[in-house]
Amino acid sequence: MRIALVICPFGYLHIPPYNLALLSACLKKDGNDVFCFDFNVKVQRYSESRGRMSVRWPSVNSLNWYDKEQVLSFLKEYDYYINLLIDEVLENDVQAVGFSLYDSSRWFSEEVASRMKKKNPSLKIIFGGYPCFREEFSVQIMANPCIDAVCLGEGEIPLVNLIRKLKMDGRFSFCPGFIYREKDNNIVNCGREKPISDLDASPFSDFSDFDLRMYDTEGIGISTSRGCLNRCLFCEETMLLRPFRRRTALNIFSELSLHFKKFPALRYVSFNDSAINGDMSQLSELVDLLIKNKLNFFQWGGQARIRDGMNFPFLRKMREAGFSFVSYGLESASPRIVKMMGKNFNVNLAESVIRDTNRAGIRSAVNVIVGFPGEKREDIAATLRFLQRNLEFIDDIYIHTLVLLPSSVLYRNKEKFGITASNLHPVSGWHSCDGSNDFKSRLASARFLKEALGNKAKLSFDLSC
């Protein structure tokens, strides 16, 4: 079967979409013809070529991505070029199109899918991606009559199975891991597929459809694990990506070796995991393999937990293996808030890890969250003092206002934490019941920290939107 995989604009131009590359490999392994289309990079590079990016196109941090009317306005402005891209997809005589979603790409994806369906009513439209792990979100998506199926979780096995059923019967039928639409418009929820237990069994990602020169780093992404060992109350992964699973170091090394054979000019790899150091033994073995086999000529980086073992000797060895950048989830330097959040570290350890990272020659960023329920001025002051004390050892500080994610423990226990959600907007649509913690106050705290910390501090969203 001929299948197109599409990702629509959401702002991020760092590397090609790993999710499409992985699904492409899975579908090709099962005998399908697969074509990947990155509308995200194509539309934005087109916008840049017309000198419009700085004026009209929202940055990756813009809240405009979550505003349906704003997105439709951008679509209208680039209507001609987007229709050309749609025609490029359909000219391949594809029978199904899979859209990979981020929260920020929903409205763009729905509009593009609707246009494709209008041009080819027999086309099967499939949605998936991390937001669709939330079943309530998937049900909302299925309200759009142009969408035929939504994947409820990890897509490698369910998508292959769904396409097999489509090839066999010419229609969708019961397939765990999906919600799908029958011919009479009846919606069938098949429930979730079991999470993949052996990540080594998945094929290596296939980036052959992507021109790496179009991206900011000319690099690629790789995933070494699923889920997270932390149990942060504001995060969804503890609920949506259970249990924590990891690939073996040898399997990861083999994939990296393959990519460098295919792309000799490749010099950067982004590790897409929630934490590259979720399993310290796996990470240590990978580092040893890279050094031993002299596959340490490229730079790599990713997110990491603040934890024991991230000391100077180990970090220095990581640097020798090519590790060049890390983003730490600090969130707060108030011991009280760190404990309330469910973070599993102490502030003294955080200071030691950050300083050792700098000493090892690795660039670092730290993430800070303001507005956690119960946070007081003295908690923000403690975080500020910590950051000022360690400012020379940190390269970038990203300041976030607390996002209330629907599948997080925090959201599911709103009454316990004294908060209420006034609308579905995850950034601005919640406040404390006593009114002391709302978007305005969180925004003020974020701006206060940014001003106090200077040029190294950045707001995670364009909060002026």
Of 274, 394, 417, nearest to 341 (Cα)? 417
d(CA 202, CA 17): 17
| Among candidate residues 189, 207, 240, the one where a domain is terminated | 189
Q: What's the rounded Cα separation, in Å, for the pair 449 and 438? A: 17
Residues 149, 222, single domain; the answer is no
Give me the pLDDT at residue 42, please.
Answer: 94
Task: Clarify whether residues 177 and 228 are in a common domain.
Answer: no
CATH code assigned at 420:
3.20.20.70
pLDDT, tens digit, 9 for 90 and up, residues 359-403:
999 999 999 999 999 999 999 999 999 999 999 999 999 999 998
Question: What's residue 55's pLDDT?
Answer: 39
Question: In this structure, are 175 and 225 located in the same domain?
Answer: no
Among 1, 4, 83, which Cα is nearest to 36's?
4
Same domain, 52 and 183: yes
Residues 175 and 265 in one domain: no
Structural domain span for residue 178: 2-189
pLDDT at 54 (0 to 100): 41
What pLDDT is stored for residue 458 in this prediction? 93
Pairing mode, strands 268-271 and 299-304: parallel
Listed residues 171, 189, 207: the one ending a domain: 189
Closest C-alpha to 99, from 40, 42, 145 = 40
The total of structural domains in the chain comes to: 2
* Type and span of the H or E element at 124: strand 124-129
Question: Which of the residues in the chain have pLDDT under 70?
Answer: 51-61, 423-426, 461-465
Which pLDDT belongs to residue 239? 77
Nearest to 127 by CA among 159, 156, 95: 159
Other C-beta atoms closer than 10 Å to the C-beta of 63 total: 17
Residue listed under structure tokens 């607390």: 402
Residue 204 lies in a domain: no
pTM of the predicted protein model: 0.93
- Return d(Cα 336, Cα 349) in angstroms, integer: 15
Does residue 90 share a domain with residue 21?
Answer: yes
My answer on whether 44 and 107 are in the same domain is yes
Q: In the chain, how long is the greatest CA-to-CA distance?
A: 65
Question: In this predicted structure, what is the pLDDT of residue 238?
Answer: 76
Same domain, 154 and 274: no
Q: Cite the beta strand spans of 229-276 per DSSP E.
A: 245-246, 268-271
Does residue 273 fall inside a structural domain? yes
Per-residue pLDDT at 421: 85
Domain membership of residue 212 (yes or no) is no
* 328 shares a domain with 256: yes
